[in-house]
Chains A and B, each alone.
Chain A
Amino acid sequence: AQSVAQPEDQVNVAEGNPLTVKCTYSVSGNPYLFWYVQYPNRGLQFLLKYITGDNLVKGSYGFEAEFNKSQTSFHLKKPSALVSDSALYFCAVRADRGSTLGRLYFGRGTQLTVWP
């Protein structure tokens, strides 16, 4: 079965500091990995994805994520955090085959707070 774990409910960082939001996954077959961000009372907004190729994926708003197959991780990173990055972040995985092909499995979400 597919699953995602986001071990931190909250991450707090100061503006200008680097940030990391952690994600580990379990999937049958090869993983398709995604990060989404949700601002208050809004839907999910796509940030970036890993399908194949380079382990370091760059996405919107200066975010990047590193795929690590041996550690089954896909941590989200940004070199310099902004107050406007404060939001709820979701990691998701999708299998590349099988009966659950269509669906995304989400982590519980990590609330990122960046203080000035």
Chain B
Amino acid sequence: GAGVSQSPSNKVTEKGKDVELRCDPISGHTALYWYRQSLGQGLEFLIYFQGNSAPDKSGLPSDRFSAERTGGSVSTLTIQRTQQEDSAVYLCASSPDRAADTQYFGPGTRLTVL
């Protein structure tokens, strides 16, 4: 079946611009996660959505970052007023609703802020 998809695959933007990154989880998965992968910081958790519960936003690095999940499916990660340190690969994952379940990752969006 279809895996997690993300768009765009690459995004180049200028410092100060806003960007939106999209994630389509595996159908039927109720949990959705965003992570960031960068050379200096490795893989960092950003945010976690589980069904209709309030999301765990504790990993978002600043108030310039926000995410929403509409209709319990597609998610959008928005970065406002981008900075050069935001350059990274943004990975989305989804899983069924149990804590022991495997998280399946999308291919990522490579964000470059000039």
Contact = CB atoms under 8 A, between A and B. Distances in A.
Given A43-B105, A43-B108, A102-B48, A94 B99 contact: yes
A51 interface: yes
A108 interface: yes
Given A32-B100, A44-B91, A102 B50 contact: yes
A103 interface: yes
Interface residues of A, number: 27
B104 A46 contact: yes
Nearest to A45: B105
B105 A102 contact: no
B79 interface: no
A49 B42 contact: no
B88 to A, nearest CB: 14
Interface string B31-42: 101010000001
A108 B48 contact: no
B50 to A, nearest CB: 6
A92 B105 CA distance: 13
B45 A104 contact: yes
Nearest to A44: B105
B63 to A, nearest CB: 20
Given A102-B48, A104-B33, 8 more contacts: A43-B105, A46-B103, A95-B99, A102-B50, A102-B56, A103-B45, A104-B45, A107-B42
